[in-house]
Amino acid sequence: MSQTWLTWWARRARPPVVGGLTVVFVGYNVLLGRVFTPPAQPGQVQAPDLLLGYSPARLHELLAIWQPAKATFLFGHLVFDNLYPLVYGSLLLLVLARLYVPWAGDRLRAGVGALPVIAVVADWGENLLLSLLMARYPLFWPGLAWLAAACTTTKWLAIGLSGLALLLGGVARGVQRASPPRGLAGP
């Protein structure tokens, strides 16, 4: 996560690139909403990866609800939901790099740049584990369920911290632009 690495992302964070990726992000959310429509009990959050966390018992219940749509669940997690982290991770990296590269120190840049990467890796782990658990259902491994839940929680924590970093970086960048250049301030 060196300065060069985050600078590479910052150079690509131009309005057409960020705008295009935002359109893809919104389109993916619409598509995933259709793919991950649970087969029963509408109105409840039933895709495990949309929850902040869950217990193995709750995951077992959710897998049972999804059994009639097992093929959809597996296809969604193994195909669509493995590409989606690349979309939101790239979008987060582009915007965070654009906000932080001009003024932040190397350590802050490295920390901020790591957040989307952590989210993407945790999301991939979550998808793999949920797919494995669904494929083997009704055989159930609580240890893997705990690991899937840890990946889910890590993903949402990293995404939340990325959101906070976006907010703080935007404020810092705004203050930086509003401040007079050093050496030109009045007495």
Which residue in 113, 88, 101 sits closest to 165, CA to CA?
113
For the stretch 109-125, pLDDT in tens is 888 989 999 999 999 99
pLDDT of residue 186: 52
Dist CA 115 CA 94 (whole Å) = 12
List the domain boundaries for the chain: 3-36+53-170
pLDDT of residue 182: 66
Positions of the chain with pLDDT lower than 70, given as ranges: 1-4, 35-45, 181-187
Dist CA 68 CA 184 (whole Å) = 68
pTM: 0.84
pLDDT of residue 2: 47
Which residue in 117, 122, 121, 126 sits closest to 94, CA to CA?
117
Q: Is the N-terminal amide bond of 38 cis, ω within 30° of 0?
A: no
3-state SS, residue 127: helix
